[in-house]
Amino acid sequence: MSKDYGQFCGLAKAARVLGERWALLIIRDLSIGSRRFKDLHDGLPGVPTSVLTARLRELEEAGVVERRAAAPPHRGVVYELTPYGRELQPALDALGRWGALRMAAPEPEDIITGSSLAAALRAGYQPGAAAPAATYLVHAGPATAWAHTEGGELTVGAGPPEADPDLVIRAGPQLRLLLAGRLSPAEALRRGMVEIEGPHAAFEAFAAAFQVPLEADLHSAETIGEGRS
């Protein structure tokens, strides 16, 4: 674990727990759901087994992660966030939105995982959007995640949902532009950048409920607002 900063400061204590490499991404994946060690390793390409083992042990010692027996009929052990660890979710979502401000398109070496896609949907959810209860299944390249909205509440998960979705979305990197509002649902369909299975109205509702802006667009909106004042 990172060396203590020697300050009686909440941020300093948080940095001590979260500052090691891979720690935040492990917590991100566990915030989507419990995981076996192999599932975590497979979902974090590039993390050495020894590093993942060390980070999990450190996060357990910090009271952020715990192990429990897998639910029948499965065997073995799964990792999950403790109640203390789940308190990090708003901070994770805020950091995800902040990091995405300058993510217009993925770099050639960038990958998308089911957990990272689910976390992005959660971070971009707009609870004030007037949308009917619906389950969305989203394929972004090789990654798959789902989101269920109902009464302003959101549930997300990696992979396919247990129930049949109301809308299936298939997209590549262009999904980022849709979430940023640079690409309208109608334009995305017309230009073949996104394919859907389900009603167009549900796709419109999805675009309204999940928004992850880009920094340049935020600054443009501020400039326009200042010009009108």
Q: Which fold is adopted by the domain 10-87?
A: Arc Repressor Mutant, subunit A (1.10.10)
The type of residue at 19 is: G
Q: Where in the chain is the domain with CATH 1.10.10.10?
A: 10-87
Walk along the chain (229 residues) and give the pLDDT tens digit of each residue.
Answer: 667 899 999 999 999 999 999 999 999 999 999 999 999 999 999 999 999 999 999 999 999 999 999 888 888 999 999 999 999 999 999 999 999 999 998 888 999 999 999 999 999 999 888 678 999 999 999 999 999 999 889 999 999 999 999 999 999 988 999 999 999 999 999 999 999 999 999 999 999 999 999 998 876 655 555 555 5
State the Cα–Cα distance between residues 94 and 11, nearest whole angstrom. Answer: 15
Predicted local distance difference test score (pLDDT) of residue 225 = 55
Backbone phi, psi, residue 26, to 5°? -65, -45
Which listed CATH number (3.40.1080.10, 3.30.1050.10, 3.40.50.720, 3.40.50.1100) goes with 110-209? Answer: 3.30.1050.10
Per the structure block, which two tokens stand in for 125? Answer: 């959810």
Alpha helices in the chain (DSSP H): 10-18, 23-32, 37-43, 49-61, 83-86, 89-100, 114-124, 174-180, 185-190, 200-209, 215-228
DSSP, res 71? P
Burial of 203 (0-12, 13-18, 19+ CB in 10 A): buried
* Displacement of CA 20 from its chain's centroid (Å): 20
**Residues with Cβ within 8 Å of residue 49, at least 6 apart in sequence:** 41
Q: Where in the chain is the domain with CATH 3.30.1050.10?
A: 110-209
